[in-house]
Structure formats: structure tokens, C-alpha cells
Amino acid sequence: MSPNPSPRVGLVTGGSGGIGRAVVRRLAKDGLALGVHYVSNKDMADRLVDEITSGGGRAIAVGGDVADEHAMAVAFDAVEAAFGGIDVTVHAAGIMRPGQIATLNLNDLDQIHRTNIRGTFVVDQQAARRLRAGGTIVNFSTSLTRTQFPAYGAYVASKAAVEAITLVLARELRGKDITVNAVAPGPIATSLFLDGKDEAVIDNLAKAVPLARLGLPEDIAETVAFLAGPARWVNGQVLFSNGGLA
């Protein structure tokens, strides 16, 4: 009998909260050793690592600004040193600053673009250099690129750029056996989505979905697990995981 293959290794940015946390748990269930990335919430990342390791899995916490190429190099280095390489990079870190285009503070615009565009570029650049054959990069867009709701112009612009980076990188990695895709969630019941919205707005958005509910972080984690696992023939795509919203 041949020896058991080494476990696959993943790094999830924004892994300490919301959708990222659900992704970490789902990939751990699939047996991946994981780097749980955080920006500011180290305690949450450490608790998630403890949860995984106490259940027999392997995980470490890594921090850093996703838009800082030096910090991300250190994070990737730490995961490689701990587990011997990287096979899956899920870039779930991002920010949202709603506001009408006519009135949005340009400092908010700069923060959105730094985190969501530069951050994606930096993380994808590291992943493209480091992932082993058979690897997967999963970025995050949004279904708002189709629905065009008011007050999300800057956010949607940043996520349209994420889609462009995703589609181009998939083609640049020709011949390396690495897939690159993006997940575009619809309305998901996380603090990022719920904060600042009253019950009427939330109810209307839930009713707009043919499945008549908000999505859960676990719904998105299943989509990510599909792309990170069996979906080797899905490449250079944006998957709208939104219950049929658009």
C-alpha cells in the first residue's frame, strides 16, 4: 500500500469572522490544514484555531494587512513553514462602505479600493507564486455587481475589479494546474451585511430571493469547498451564490 498523501493546506484571509470563519470550518471538515488569517481580531482567530485543533485538525493563526505585500509574504511564509506548502488560498477579507456616489467621502473610497482591490492583487500575487500544482485560488466578488443597488457604487466598482483580476489570473496560470475563481454572494446574514439596515430593509431583501431567505455563511462555505475540492474543471469563473437573486 502506498503511504497516505500529505494533507492539503489552505490559507483563508479574513478567516476570523463572518463568511471566512464558516469557510475555515468547512475546509477543516474536508481535512485541510489551515492558516486562519485575521486583520485585527486575533482573539477570534485564536479561538477558531483552538476549535479546529481540539477536534483533531491542524491550524495556525496568521495576521496582517492584506494590502501590505510584506505582511502577506510573512503570512504565507508562516503557513508554508507550519505545513510544508500551500494548495488553497481563499481571499475572503474585504470591507464595505455604503454611500451614494454623489456624497461618498473619498477617504472611504480609498479605503475600499486599498483593501478590496490592492488586497486581492497582493494576496493573489503571493498565491500565484506559491501554490502547488492542483491548487485553487478563490476570490470574493458580490451579486451587487448585477443588482446595481444604490449606495454601493464604490463597493461594486472594487468587486468588479476583483472579478477582472480573477479572470485574467486564471489565464495567466495556464499550464500550472491551478484554478482561479470568484464567489459572488447575495445577501448573507453577517454583520457586514446587516449593520445599518432596519428590519424592513432586511425583510424586503430576503423576500427578493426566490428561496425567500437570507443566505447563511455556511451556504457560501459550501460553494468555496466545491471550488477548492472536486471542481477541477471550473476555472476562470464567477459563481453567483445568491439563492437566485440575480
Active site residues: 155
172-to-3, 40, 166, 190, 245 alpha-carbon distances in Å: 34, 32, 10, 33, 31
What count of Cα atoms within 13 Å lies in the side-chain half-sphere of residue 3? 3
Candidates 214, 190, 191; CA nearest to 202 is 214
Residue 191: CB partners within 8 Å, gap ≥ 6? 17, 18
Q: Are 101 and 148 in contact (CB under 8 A)?
A: no
Which H/E stretch holds residue 87?
Answer: none
